[in-house]
Amino acid sequence: LSLSLSLSLSLSLSLLTEMAVGGMLRALQVHRASFSLQRTAISRLISTLVLAEHEGCYIKSSSISSVEAAKSLGENNSISVLLAGSGSSLQEAATHAASCHPSVSQVLVADSDKLKYPLAEAWAKLVEMVQKTGGYSHVLAASGSFGKNILPRAAALLDVSPITDVIAISGSHQFVRPVYAGNALSTVRYTGESPCMLSIRSTSFPAPSETRSSAAPISQVDLSTFGEDILNKARFIKLTSQESERPDLGNARIVVTGGRGLKSAENFKMLEKLAEKLGAAVGATRAAVDAGFVPNELQVGQTGKIVAPELYMAFGVSGAIQHLAGMRDSKVIVAVNKDPDAPIFQVADYGLVGDLFEIIPELLEKLPEKK
C-alpha cells in the first residue's frame, strides 16, 4: 500500500511539473510573440520630420543628407520634409524636395512673409505647430548654422532634449556622436518623450545619387494660427554673402586650408590661386580668422564648418584639437608645415616639412591651369 501511494504521488508530481513547465513555455512563446508584435508596431510608428534649408529653388545637399540619415531610423519610416519661406522660389524648392531623395514621403510647405527669413523664433514656433499636428517620432536637421539655430529653441518649446552632431544611427533611439573634440565616440540612447530631435553631420550621411522616379506629394501647412507676436521677438536686418566661383566649402571635393602660418591676408591670395588651379574650396583655421586674414565663413573646425573632402590640404596649420575635429574625416590629408612636431602630422596621410612660401609657388608653377 505504501509503495502504491508513493508511485501515485510521484506520478502526480511528475504530471504537475510537466504541466507547469508546459504552461511556462506557452506563456514564454506568447510573451515573445507579443514582444515581436510590439517591436513591429514600434517600427511602424516611426515618422520623421526633416527641417530643410533651401537656397533659391533648390534644397541644400546638407538637408538631403538629413533625409538619408532619417532612412536609417528604421523600416516603414514615413519621412516628411518641411520647407518655409515665401514666394515662387519656395514652391520651386518644394518641387525639388519632392524628388530629391527616394525616401521622401511628402513635402510640407509653410508659405508666409513671416517665414521669409530663417529666424530661429519663427521657425521654432513652426516646428512646434507642425509637430503637434503630425505627432512625429523624430525631428532632424543638418548640423549647420541653420539647424543649430533652430533645433535647440524648438526642443525647448516641445520640452525635449536634442542630441547633436550625430554621425551614426544604430536604431530608432540609439545614436553615435563625437565627444572631446572628436577624439572619442559616444553611443547615446534616447529615452525621453517624443519627438527625438537630432542634428545630423551631413558628411557622415552622403546624399545618394538617385532621386525619386515620381515626385512625393506636396502639402501646404495651415498657418491660420501662426501668431503675429513672433515678429516682435526678432527682426531680420540684412543678409550678406560672398560671391565666389569656387565650390562651397561644406561640399567641396578638394579643400585648401591656411593657418596662422600664412601671416597675412595678402598671403592668403596665394592660397586662393592654388585653390583655383585645383578647383578647390578655401578654408581657414580659427587663428587665421581671428587674425582677420579671411572672413568667418571660411573657418573649418569645431566652431566652424565640418568638412570631409576627398583631399584636404593644410598649409601653415599647426593642428589644434578644435581644428582637427572639423576635418579629420577627410579621405586624404596633406599637411605642409615647417614645424616637424606640429600635431597636424599625426592625422596627415602625407606630410611635408618645409617653408610654405617656397612650396606653394612651386606647386603653382607645376600645376596646369584649370580648364
Quote the CA–CA distance of 9 and 17 in Å, as a whole number. 12
pLDDT of residue 5 exceeding 70: no
pLDDT for 154-173, tens place per residue?
A: 999 999 999 999 999 999 99
What average pLDDT does range 302-331 have in this prediction? 93
What average pLDDT does range 116-136 have in this prediction? 93
pLDDT band (50, 70, 90) for residue 20: low
Task: Give the global pTM.
Answer: 0.78
Nearest partner of 222 among 109, 82, 117, judged by Cα:
109
Quote the CA–CA distance of 103 and 105 in Å, as a whole number. 6
- What pLDDT sits at residue 235? 81
- What pLDDT sits at residue 226? 83
pLDDT of residue 300 exceeding 60: yes
**Rounded percentage of the chain residues whose pLDDT exceeds 70:** 85
What average pLDDT does range 244-249 have in this prediction? 82
Binding residues for FAD, by number, are 260, 285-286, 299-303, 316-323, 337
Domain ranges of the chain: 45-232, 254-366
**Cross-sheet strand order for the sheet of 311-315:** 281-284, 254-258, 311-315, 332-337, 350-353
SS3 label, residue 202:
helix
In Å, how far are 117, 276, 334, 355 from 362, measured between CA atoms?
Answer: 45, 15, 16, 11
- What pLDDT sits at residue 19? 53
Domains 45-232 and 254-366 equal at CATH topology level: yes
What average pLDDT does range 181-199 have in this prediction? 93
Q: Which fold has domain 45-232?
A: Rossmann fold (3.40.50)
pLDDT of residue 132 exceeding 50: yes
What is the dotted CATH code of the domain comprising 254-366?
3.40.50.1220
pLDDT for 26-57, tens place per residue?
A: 544 544 434 333 433 444 578 999 999 998 89
Quote the CA–CA distance of 337 and 356 in Å, as a whole number. 7
Binding residues, by number, are 260, 285-286, 299-303, 316-323, 337
Cell of 132: 503637434
- Helix count and strand count (H, E) for the chain: 9, 17
- What pLDDT sits at residue 39? 39
